[in-house]
Structure 1
Amino acid sequence: MNGVWKAYKVFDYIKLAGIWVSGISVLVMMFLIVYDVAVRSLFSSSIRGGFEIIQNYMMPLVVFPGLAYVYASGVLPKMDLVLDKIGQKAKKVLIFLMILLELFVLVLIVQFSWEYAMNGLERKTAFPAAGTLYPLYPLFFLIPIAFALIVIENVFILIRNILIKEPSLTMREVEEKPEELL
């Protein structure tokens, strides 16, 4: 289990890098919007194509890189209320079924979003802003990457539930008690 824990710590750094990308993107988007509003108010002008750039570049950069970190944090709703009311054996079975179902759905999302991204790459999908075409297809790859990271998180959760007796839908409990894994 020690090797799994070390691999998860490395994976944690990847998720942390994603949340940093999302955070920096929020700051850049905020500054662009404030600058645009200030210039529009003071000089009756604005950033040419600013809305489209924020919509097509900044918003995906805010959402998708940090998605795996948010998923792993346990903030997203799970079936905690139901799981607390059932026995340990039934809880473990239900958690295994839920993780396997999530893995199935997430792998489908990765597959279809990858195909969509490859299609966008082949067609060189772009969007117009201020009379110029900006490439959009590179951002299509954020979606399958984000969901692939969530698949990896679920695989770690599945391994955790196989190796540790106490069933859980997150790795958070493991992070609080790493000595159990040594």
Structure 2
Amino acid sequence: MKGVLSVYKYFDYIKIIGVWISGISLIGMMLFIVYDVFLRNIVENSINGGFEIVQNYFMPIVVFPSLAYVYSSGVLPKMDMLIERFKNKTKMFIIIGMVLIEIFVLILMTQFSLEYALNGLEREIAFPAAGTLYPLYPIFFFVPIAFGLIIVENIFILIRNLIEKQPSFLFKGEDKK
């Protein structure tokens, strides 16, 4: 388990980088919106295409890079309240089954979102804002990367549950607070 923990430490760094990317994007979005509101109220002119830029660039970059960290933190709802009523062997069986189903579904989501991103890259999908076309296809790649990181997190959870006797939906168990 120590080797898995050392590998997971590096994976934690990747998740923290995603949180930083999301945080910087959130700050950028706030500054962009504040600047737009300032221009609209003081100069009586706003940033042309500001809404589209926030919608198509900032919002996806706020959500997707930090998704693996949010998933691993345990704040997303699971069936843990129901599962706590079972014995450890039953809990282990249910948790491993659920993690395997999640991995399967996430693999499909990753595959389809990667195909969509590659299609967008091939077609060079863009969005119009204030008479200018801005490329949208680079943002599409955040989605399969986020789902891929959640798959890796689920693999760590699966390994933890196979090695240790105490079943858990989290890799680090209850000490991850």
- Give the alignment's TM-score, normalised by structure 1: 0.94
Please name the residue that 1:156 is paired with. Answer: 156
Please name the residue that 1:59 is paired with. Answer: 59
SS of the residue 2:36 aligns to = helix
1:48 counterpart = 2:57: no
- Where structure 1 has 5 or more consecutive residues not aligned to the other structure, the ranges are 177-182
SS of the residue 2:31 aligns to = helix
Please name the residue that 1:22 is paired with. Answer: 22
- The letter of the residue matching 2:7 is A
Contact 1:74 1:172 in 2 (8 A): no
The more displaced of 11-20 and 163-172 is: 163-172
Please name the residue that 1:179 is paired with. Answer: none
CA distance, structure 2, for counterparts of residue 128 and residue 34 of structure 1: 22
Deviations 1:108-165 (CA, angstroms, capped at 9, x unpaired): 0000000000100110000011111110000000000000000000000000001111
SS of the residue 1:90 aligns to = helix
- The letter of the residue matching 2:117 is A
CA distance, structure 2, for counterparts of residue 94 and residue 86 of structure 1: 10
Identity fraction in percent: 60
Deviations 1:30-84 (CA, angstroms, capped at 9, x unpaired): 0110110011001110111111111100000000000000000000000111111
The Cα shift of 1:174 comes to 7.1
Please name the residue that 1:2 is paired with. Answer: 2
Q: How does 1:20-169 map to 2 (within 5 A)?
A: 20-169=20-169
Please name the residue that 1:170 is paired with. Answer: 170
CA distance, structure 2, for counterparts of residue 5 and residue 38 of structure 1: 49
Deviations 1:4-45 (CA, angstroms, capped at 9, x unpaired): 111100000000000011111111000110110011001110
The Cα shift of 1:175 comes to 5.6
Contact 1:73 1:172 in 2 (8 A): no
SS of the residue 2:77 aligns to = coil
Q: Say what the alpha-carbon RMSD is for the aligned residues.
A: 1.0
The Cα shift of 1:172 comes to 3.2
Alignment coverage as a number of residue pairs: 176
CA distance, structure 1, for counterparts of residue 124 and residue 55 of structure 2: 18
- Where structure 2 has 5 or more consecutive residues not aligned to the other structure, the ranges are none
CA distance, structure 2, for counterparts of residue 62 and residue 85 of structure 1: 37
